[in-house]
Amino acid sequence: MESYTRTARTTPTRYRERARYDRETVHGILDEALTCHVGYVNGGRQVVLPTLHARLGEILYLHGSTGSGPMLTVAGSPDGLPVCVTVTLVDGVVLARSAMHHSLEYRSVVAMGNARLVTDPDEKLRALAAVVDHVAPGRSADSRPPNARELAATAVLALDLVEVSAKVRTGGPVDDADDLALPYWAGVIPLTVHAGTPVPADDLDPSVPLPSYVSDYRRA
């Protein structure tokens, strides 16, 4: 797979060696992260909202309701809504001997462009199924599909993955040579998203079995 083309806007001003443009890295981060943060301008002021997303090939779908801010704004934007979608996974806390070398292990993606409102009914159904499957793989086929009323109340934005970059920081602390003998612990505390014991709904029929995608739930 060809990499994304680096542009001025997707070139970090700092730590350029952490930038990645290969699709495998970008797709992996987008697919693993449960939520994204969507930035857009509304009435001259920027807004950043968390939402659910899903990737199908080179399209990133963003979930919303027809009454939500981005959806109301895109309705008045014939060329689509300019957005910046950012996804961040934190993999660890990096403790260095020096306060200023503290850092995180992380993987992030920034995708920019004009998002369009999905109006084609088939694409909308596909996108919403992808969002549900992004939350729990296989779940869209194991739940009641949307009806017409629900579809009308739900909106989906689509952003073509064109101007996209990832940033990845791995590994332990990088301390100055003069600091190595200081008596401070240094290293990494790994962080993962842990799925606990599933909690059935109060009104769940106890004869309904626990699916493996619930009992074995994991993000990575």
Q: Which two tokens stand for residue 139?
A: 């779940």
| The pair of three-digit structure tokens given for residue 119, joined into one six-digit string | 């109006």
- Cβ burial, residue 220 (10 Å; 0-12/13-18/19+): exposed
For the bound state, the minimum distance from the C-beta of residue 118 to its own copies, rounded and expressed in Å, comes to 15
Helix (H) or strand (E) holding 167: strand 163-169
For the chain, the residue count is: 220
Distance of CA 168 to CAs 32, 71, 79, 82, 214, Å?
A: 14, 31, 32, 25, 29
Q: Does 82 bind its own copies (CB under 8 A)?
A: yes
Instruction: Report if residue 83 touches its own copies, rule: CB under 8 A.
Output: yes
Contacts with its own copies, 23-62, as mask; x by CB under 8 A: -----------xx-xxxxx---xxxxxx-x----------
Among 74, 127, 128, 161, binds its own copies (CB under 8 A): 128
Q: With left for phi above 0 and alpha for psi between -120 and 50, is residue 32 left, alpha or beta?
A: alpha
Q: Is 190 in the site for its own copies (CB under 8 A)?
A: yes
CB 184 within 8 A of CB 28: no
Return d(Cα 127, Cα 53) in angstroms, integer. 9
Question: What x/- string results for residues 130 through 159 when contact with its own copies is judged by CB under 8 A?
Answer: --x--xx--xx-xxxxx---xx-xx-----
Out of 17, 76, 148, 199, name the contact with its own copies by CB under 8 A.
199
- Dist CA 180 CA 83 (whole Å): 43
Of 34 and 120, which has the nearer Cβ to its own copies?
34
Between residue 169 and residue 188, which ones bind its own copies under the rule CB under 8 A?
A: 172-173, 175, 179-188
Nearer Cβ to its own copies (74/128): 128
Tell the smallest beta-carbon distance from residue 177 to its own copies (Å). 10
Inter-residue contact 157 to 83 (CB < 8 Å) = yes
Choose the stretch contacting its own copies; rule: CB under 8 A; options: 18-26, 53-61, 116-124, 194-202.
194-202
Q: How far is the CB of 9 from its own copies (least distance, A)?
A: 7
Q: Which is nearer to its own copies, 1 or 195 (CB)?
A: 195
- List binders of its own copies among 200-219 (CB under 8 A): 200-205, 208-211, 214, 217
